[in-house]
Amino acid sequence: MSTHTLEDNHKIILGDQEILKSDLLTLNMGPQHPATHGVLRVEIKTDSEIVVDAIPHLGYLHRCFEKHCENLDFRQVIPFVDRMDYLAAMNMELGYALAVEKMLGTEVPARAQYIRVIVSELQRIASHLMFFGTYAIDLGAFSPFLYAFQDREDILRLFEELSGARLLYNYIWIGGVWNDITDAQLNRTKTFLDTFEESLKKYHSLVGENQIFIGRTANVGVISKENAFAYGVTGPVLRGSGVKWDLRKDRPYSIYEKFEFNIPVGVGEKGTVGDCWDRYHVRVLEMFESIKIVRQCLDGIEAGPIIGKVPKIIKVPAGEIYLRTECPRGELGYHLISDGGKKPYRLKVKSSCFTHISALPAIAPGQMIADLVATIGSIDIVLGEVDR
């Protein structure tokens, strides 16, 4: 993973001056470090305060998901899919359900399509709020976390009423959704969006415009456009580097082609293009775009059935598919191979968090340790998805 090995005799040059004063210190950040959001261990080699090398060690949360799916039928996979990115479980389910439906050739009713978009966009807001809160905690601000969780609670409450669970929903089923959404819940969503839009502006001026926050994040952890392409990063990290690419717009899936929304990109407003502040700002702007999409959904939703015709025992015809969707953390791809049986022959998941964490050895060297914390926070990984 690392690009170079360090031996006894070495010379470290930062910019144009030699910096090594003493021996290199190897430091383990994690697996229980509060800034790593889960169990990630980053082995860093430091010269005084400057990171020379950072190697992420994965696998602490490995659950053998892909192999396990080969022993489950197509409906039973959904609860396990939830557990990959547990902060955005709806988006994980949506991708899997779309992949199986495409192979089955199932028609999904219009109402179910709208409900799916509503829940997955609300989930995107909830997931970005989680990022917003924990990122502020990483950088030493506590109260934004409480504000973010207060609004996230409203979304989770709606999901709890819809599906019965707060985090691992098993709500989006193959062919539709589990439970119908009532008019009262739709109205509540509408009022929530109105209040949330106001408070999000307030939160952004509290955190994003703060000079200390800008000082900690601007010009830190810069991922250039070339590096972003080289490492294959996707989602808000790619858009933060100034690339206008969003699967919802460029390769529409589900019914996303019906909605009007913009793709926010990082422009280097406070520093360089692709720094931590840009990635933060892209996520905040994305929340506003999600609000727009949910509003259009609430206008367009119509009465009808919520689940299409699906056989009781799902037998997917032999073949394979690669389907990718835009999740809060980036592109999620499902490579599903079926041999015509009741169980998937192979289910490979391309997770965005894995590619993002593999870009860390390229961005980390040359930074201070405290900036490394800001960098890891800003790429917003969930270890459940990295390790699977």
Partner 1 sequence: MQTIQLKKPVTPDLTFTQWFKNVYNGVRTTVIGMGITFKYVWDVKPVTIEYPEVREELPENSRSRLFNDAQNCISCLQCAAVCPVDCIYIASVKRPADAEKIKTKDGTAIRLDLKQYTIDTALCCYCGLCTTVCPTECLTHTTDYEFSSYTLSAMKYDYLAPDIRAWRTRLVKD
Least distance CB 249 / partner 1 (angstroms): 31
Contact 133, 37 (CB under 8 A): no
Q: Name the token pair of 64.
A: 């053998």
State which residue, 72 or 110, has the beta carbon closest to partner 1: 72
CA distances from 145 to 99, 135, 220, 379 (A): 35, 8, 22, 18
Binding region for partner 1 (CB under 8 A) out of 9-17, 57-65, 110-118, 239-247: 9-17
Among candidate residues 208, 34, 224, the one with its CA nearest the CA of residue 128: 208
14 to 73, contacts with partner 1 by CB under 8 A?
A: 14-16, 19, 50, 52, 72
* Cβ count within 10 A of residue 126: 26
State which residue, 210 or 358, has the beta carbon closest to partner 1: 210
CA distances from 307 to 108, 158, 242, 379 (A): 7, 20, 39, 36
Q: Name the token pair of 289.
A: 């775009």
Least distance CB 257 / partner 1 (angstroms): 32
Residue 185 engages partner 1 in binding (rule: CB under 8 A)? no
Binding region for partner 1 (CB under 8 A) out of 7-15, 292-300, 329-337, 344-352: 7-15
Residue 369 engages partner 1 in binding (rule: CB under 8 A)? no
Q: Name the token pair of 137.
A: 């905690």
Q: Which of 246, 278, 331, 371 binds partner 1 (CB under 8 A)?
A: 371
| Nearby residues of 68 by Cβ (< 8 Å), 6 or more positions away | 80
CA distances from 206 to 134, 198, 203 (A): 15, 13, 5
Measured between alpha carbons, how far is 341 from 350 in angstroms, rounded to an integer? 23
Binding region for partner 1 (CB under 8 A) out of 112-120, 130-138, 165-173, 291-299: 165-173
Contact 361, 18 (CB under 8 A): no
Q: Which of 59, 140, 164, 340 binds partner 1 (CB under 8 A)?
A: 164
Residues counted in the chain: 388
Residue 143 engages partner 1 in binding (rule: CB under 8 A)? yes
Least distance CB 258 / partner 1 (angstroms): 30
Measured between alpha carbons, how far is 298 from 67 in angstroms, rounded to an integer? 39
Q: Which of 100, 126, 174, 220 binds partner 1 (CB under 8 A)?
A: 220
Least distance CB 47 / partner 1 (angstroms): 9
Binding region for partner 1 (CB under 8 A) out of 87-95, 106-114, 276-284, 359-367: 359-367
Furthest CA-CA distance within the chain: 72
Binding region for partner 1 (CB under 8 A) out of 35-43, 114-122, 128-136, 200-208: 200-208
Among candidate residues 49, 57, 40, the one with its CA nearest the CA of residue 14: 49
State which residue, 218 or 247, has the beta carbon closest to partner 1: 218
Residue 177 engages partner 1 in binding (rule: CB under 8 A)? no
Least distance CB 154 / partner 1 (angstroms): 10
310 to 329, contacts with partner 1 by CB under 8 A?
A: none
* Cβ count within 10 A of residue 380: 27
- The alpha carbons of the chain give a radius of gyration, in whole angstroms, of 22
Binding region for partner 1 (CB under 8 A) out of 153-161, 244-252, 300-308, 379-387: 153-161
**Coil, strand or helix at 293:** helix
CA distances from 335 to 22, 103, 117, 325 (A): 49, 12, 22, 12
Residue 187 engages partner 1 in binding (rule: CB under 8 A)? no
Q: Name the token pair of 33.
A: 């470090």
State which residue, 22 or 211, has the beta carbon closest to partner 1: 211
66 to 105, contacts with partner 1 by CB under 8 A?
A: 72, 75-80, 82
Q: Which of 211, 260, 302, 303 binds partner 1 (CB under 8 A)?
A: 211
Burial of 367 (0-12, 13-18, 19+ CB in 10 A): buried
Q: Which of 4, 63, 309, 342 binds partner 1 (CB under 8 A)?
A: 4
Contact residues toward partner 1 (CB under 8 A) are 4, 6-7, 9-16, 19, 50, 52, 72, 75-80, 82, 143, 150, 153, 157, 160-161, 163-165, 168, 170, 178-179, 202, 205-206, 209-212, 219-220, 222, 271-272, 365-367, 371
